[in-house]
């Protein structure tokens, strides 16, 4: 028995993995990873895999980055953790100062959480509580876009709309208002992204006009709906949404957990619309992919609504044990140093262009409906019929075939259903991008070689898919 198999057997005896049907591993070998370096992950038998999905979208400067490593090593000798209620520490203070300085003007307060879902919970609770504190208790509902994803805790699921994650738990979820997404994949023939996104805003305008007196906030994933299949839209939608939220006195929450820190081509996606949300949720790449940490930034106007004498009970009494952990804050500070010192956003422009050129040939593939890209995120949508964009039945798991082929070639490509995507660390080279494009092309050929083996059922919903 090889080392990989030994570790796999020990794992399967005790572990329950996330986002996984564990029975799959009766046929699909689990891959134990011994070490990482740069864009590479290495198993216990020495085989390497290029991490094309940044280990669930978190790693931006490579595995075992020496600069982040050193900052964490220095911090661990000073302070590993301290309660953040009534106490503070240097890394949390410095990180907060830098986040306030680098995000859109007016986001002046930072509240820490442990992960992305928890950060969304913070923003939702804070918005709801704000209206309670300011004498508008009727404002308690949230508006979200169809096909959106904001996490897997209860309130975060409530403002999501990917059935794979929400259908089972419908009885537990909040009553939210869903508005059609501006997703440009569904734009009419010949229509550009901006025009389609403008047109799709009409439904949001109508919803806010009719229900604003009971709406606390609108929450969106700006520019890219990640778990919904890397679906993308134009920044004009965000601009129109900001204007409407101001008119109707409704909060705007930007979930930049997946798209923040350069993924869309600017440091934050909201910059491309020239706007500032009332709540900006950040996580994932915040620590360079090292440690769990999330930050919810908001305005002094929101902060002041909670600032009062204790007996009024207006305080935001929300907490996590590891809130503002010093080691995580140190990793985040090192990550921000790299962004600042290495001119990363500009360097990424060349990498994004290489991703586009390396995959351009797939536009002619008989089973590729679209190649779409926003900055350092590129997605290739496989379909059974190119002209009608008819999707493959989710039960056929075409993306899984791409995943398995990529592993055989030494790449970690984990599609979202029938969407193959690149979301690599920013330290990837042009040659490594070419390699990924080659592997993806081969995988798509293999995955689409056979005709559809089952009829699409009447209740077919493309939201049921292999999670990424």
Q: Give the span between the Cα atoms of 366 and 382, in whole angstroms.
A: 9
Torsion of CA 436, 438, 442, 448, to 10 degrees: 70
CB of 230 within 8 A of CB of 379?
yes
The two three-digit tokens of residue 87, written as one number? 């106490």
Residue by residue, DSSP assigns 17-36 as -TT--GGGGGTS----EEEE
Q: Give the span between the Cα atoms of 174 and 319, in whole angstroms.
A: 21
CB of 285 within 8 A of CB of 335?
yes
Q: Give the span between the Cα atoms of 158 and 142, in whole angstroms.
A: 9
Q: Which residues are CB-neighbours of 312 under 8 A, at least 6 positions away?
A: none
Q: Give the span between the Cα atoms of 224 and 258, in whole angstroms.
A: 9
Q: Which residues are CB-neighbours of 101 under 8 A, at least 6 positions away?
A: none
Cα Rg, the chain, nearest whole Å: 22
Query: What residues form the annotated binding site?
Result: 56, 116-117, 149, 255, 284, 319-321, 414
CB of 283 within 8 A of CB of 57?
no
The two three-digit tokens of residue 88, written as one number? 């503070």
Query: What residues form the annotated binding site for pyridoxal 5'-phosphate?
Result: 116-117, 255, 320-321
Q: What is the DSSP letter of 252?
A: E
Element (H, E) at 40: strand 40-43
Burial class (CB in 10 A: 0-12, 13-18, 19+), 222: buried
Query: What residues form the annotated binding site for substrate?
Result: 56, 149, 284, 319, 414
User: What's the distance, Cα to Cα, between the start and end of the chain in Å?
Assistant: 30
Q: Give the span between the Cα atoms of 384 and 404, in whole angstroms.
A: 20
CB of 290 within 8 A of CB of 72?
yes
Q: Give the span between the Cα atoms of 280 and 289, in whole angstroms.
A: 19
Which residue shows structure tokens 């864009």? 39
Closest to 182 measured CA to CA, from 141, 143, 220, 142? 220
Pairing, β 109-113 against β 294-298: antiparallel
């Amino acid at each position: 028995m090889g080392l990989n198999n030994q570790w796999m057997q020990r794992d399967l005896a005790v572990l329950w993995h996330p986002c996984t049907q564990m029975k799959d591993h009766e046929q699909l070998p689990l891959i134990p990873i011994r070490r990482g370096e740069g864009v590479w992950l290495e198993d216990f038998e020495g085989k390497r895999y290029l991490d094309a999905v940044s280990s669930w979208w978190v790693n931006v400067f490579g595995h075992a980055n020496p600069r982040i490593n050193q900052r964490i090593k220095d911090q661990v000798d000073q302070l590993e953790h301290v309660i953040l209620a009534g106490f503070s520490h240097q890394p949390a203070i410095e990180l907060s100062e830098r986040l306030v300085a680098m995000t859109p003007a007016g986001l002046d307060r930072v509240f820490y959480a442990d992960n992305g879902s928890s950060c969304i919970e913070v923003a939702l609770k804070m918005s709801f509580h704000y209206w309670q504190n300011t004498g508008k208790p009727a404002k308690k509902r949230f508006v979200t876009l169809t096909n959106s994803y904001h996490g897997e805790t209860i309130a975060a699921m409530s403002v999501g709309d990917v059935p794979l994650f929400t259908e089972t738990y419908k009885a537990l979820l909040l009553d939210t208002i869903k508005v059609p997404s501006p997703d440009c994949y569904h734009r009419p023939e010949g229509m550009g992204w901006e025009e389609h996104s403008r047109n799709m805003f009409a439904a949001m305008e109508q919803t806010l006009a009719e229900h604003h007196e009971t709406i606390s906030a609108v929450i969106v994933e700006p520019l890219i709906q990640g778990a919904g299949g890397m679906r993308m839209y134009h920044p004009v939608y965000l601009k129109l949404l900001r204007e409407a939220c101001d008119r109707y006195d409704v909060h705007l929450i930007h979930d930049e957990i997946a798209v923040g820190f350069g993924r869309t081509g600017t440091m934050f996606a909201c910059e491309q619309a020239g706007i500032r949300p009332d709540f900006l949720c950040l996580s994932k790449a915040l620590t360079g992919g090292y440690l769990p940490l999330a930050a919810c930034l908001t305005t002094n106007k929101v902060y002041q609504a909670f600032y009062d004498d204790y007996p009024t009970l207006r305080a935001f009494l929300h907490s996590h044990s590891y809130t503002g952990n010093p080691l995580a804050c140190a990793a985040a500070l090192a990550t921000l140093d790299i962004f600042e010192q290495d001119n990363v956003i500009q360097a990424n422009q060349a990498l994004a262009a290489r991703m586009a050129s390396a995959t351009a040939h797939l536009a002619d593939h008989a089973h590729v409906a679209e190649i779409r890209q926003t900055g350092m995120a590129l997605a290739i949508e496989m379909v059974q019929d190119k002209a009608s964009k008819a999707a493959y039945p989710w039960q056929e798991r075409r993306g899984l075939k791409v995943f398995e082929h990529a592993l055989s070639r030494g790449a970690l490509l984990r599609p979202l259903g029938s969407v193959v995507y690149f979301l690599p660390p920013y330290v990837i080279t042009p040659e490594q991008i070419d390699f990924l494009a080659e592997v993806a092309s081969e995988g798509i050929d293999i995955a689409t070689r056979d005709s559809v083996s089952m009829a699409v059922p009447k209740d077919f919903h493309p939201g049921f898919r292999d999670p990424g």
